[in-house]
Chains A and B, each alone.
Chain A
Amino acid sequence: MEPDPMHVLIIDDSRAMRSILRRIVTDLGFTAVEAANGQEALDHLEAGLRPELCTIDWNMPVMDGYTFVSRVRSTPEWRDITLMMVTTESEHGQIVKALAAGAHEYVIKPFTPDAIADKFELLGVRAGVVA
């Protein structure tokens, strides 16, 4: 099943961060769906949401972002979803770890809206167009 080209799933336990990212992805033409942790995000996917991309914080209660990435990448029906970490974790080893777990991209906080737009461009993720 093709991913829904119009949604971005924003996964972060900070309401402020979700709000910032929601505006950025909305400006890029997407519809934002929010989750406060990895488990809530999985619930969305299990309910049938197929976002084009997920932005994923690392440190969250209940289920962290790293675990969420591993779970998504090991589930065949979710393999088309692009996964982008957006986190304060900025050590070299952490980035390697996230990429090894299957994250496609990595943005370090603080970031500018242009940085997110840039990464979407690099990934070929565009609203209304299946990558």
Chain B
Amino acid sequence: MVPPDPDGGVVTISQASFDYVSALVRRETSMLYDPGKEYLVEARLLPLAREAGAADVDAYIGRLSTDLAERRKAIDALTINETSWFRDNAPYQTFTEHMLPAMLAERTHVRHLNIWSAACSSGQEAYSLAMLLDQHLPAGWGASILATDVSTAMLERVQAGRYGQVEMNRGMPATQLVKYFTRVGSEWEVSDDLKKMVRTQHLNLAAPFPPLPTFDIVFLRNVLIYFDMDTKRDILRRVRDVVAPDGFLLLGSSETTLDMETHWTREPLGRVQTHRPVPTTAGLRMPAAMTGA
């Protein structure tokens, strides 16, 4: 029996449909939809079911085994990371008040910062960081934000930089809205100045990473929860390898680096927990600033 939606709505998809979808997502992305998440599957697939003219979500799921195009769309919809502008606020405060000043002191040779917004979804995290950089980077300094996601549809949304009205009401002061966005149809589009700071790349965290620059700051927020323990550890290990020795990792508010003290040490800054890479024992690794990379 499919458990009820915690918000009180009625879930209509069958156990078989849920099991199929859960296995599909896990196979394609290693992300987990555990029992209890049926309402989420239903909510995320309903708009696609509607568009495809299916009678209901069960009927839509029935098509996925033979319809590759719909299957891709379904996977994209299911691997969306819920996001918003300046989500949780405190991490962005710590970014501005602690991480950025530290990096400005350490990178005077290159005057450039590399930031990774991992599992970027529709890009609100990446553009939130871009707004802060626009406000706080001194003249003569640059920054690159790499926004990656397993969903190509999401990456296209990041490139378009367009957001609906309802999204614009949350998390962003009105002064920033008018400074960085213009109306396009019923949506709001981010300015070209901010878009220039953000580059997108397809990346599945659970798979080996493509070649990546060395990052000064990594935001890996609220995505590790979708993976099992072994995959989580593996991801954290590989992320450590692409972060500068004096760099920072930020996870979601309730996430930790588990038992990986050999790779990450915790350092509270402001109201959040940041994570600093533990140096590898295999020789010195020079930060990008000194290798000129």
Contacts and interface: CB of A to CB of B under 8 A. Distances in A.
A–B interface present (Cβ within 8 A): yes
Interface of A: 90-92, 95-96, 99, 103, 105-108, 110-112, 114-115, 118-119, 121-122
Contacts of B182: 92
B165 A96 contact: no
Given A112-B169, A115-B166, A118-B169, 7 more contacts: A92-B183, A96-B178, A99-B175, A103-B174, A107-B169, A112-B170, A114-B170
A2 B174 CA distance: 25
B171 interface: yes
Interface in B172-206: 173-175, 177-178, 181-183
B171 A108 contact: no
B168 interface: yes
A91 B174 CA distance: 12
A114 B84 CA distance: 12
A92 B182 CA distance: 7
B188 to A, nearest CB: 9
Given A90-B183, A91-B183, A92-B183, A115 B169 contact: yes
B175 A112 contact: no
B171 A118 contact: yes
Interface in B147-172: 165-166, 168-171
Contacts of A107: 169
Given A115-B169, A118-B169, A118-B170, A106 B183 contact: no
A106 to B, nearest CB: 4
A121 B93 CA distance: 14
B165 A95 contact: no
A96 B170 CA distance: 18
A95 B177 contact: yes
Nearest to A100: B178
Contacts of B177: 95, 106
A123 to B, nearest CB: 9
B57 to A, nearest CB: 24
Contact of B166 (A91, A99, A106, A111): A111
Nearest to B183: A92
Contact of A92 (B89, B171, B175, B178): B178
Contacts of B178: 92, 95-96, 99
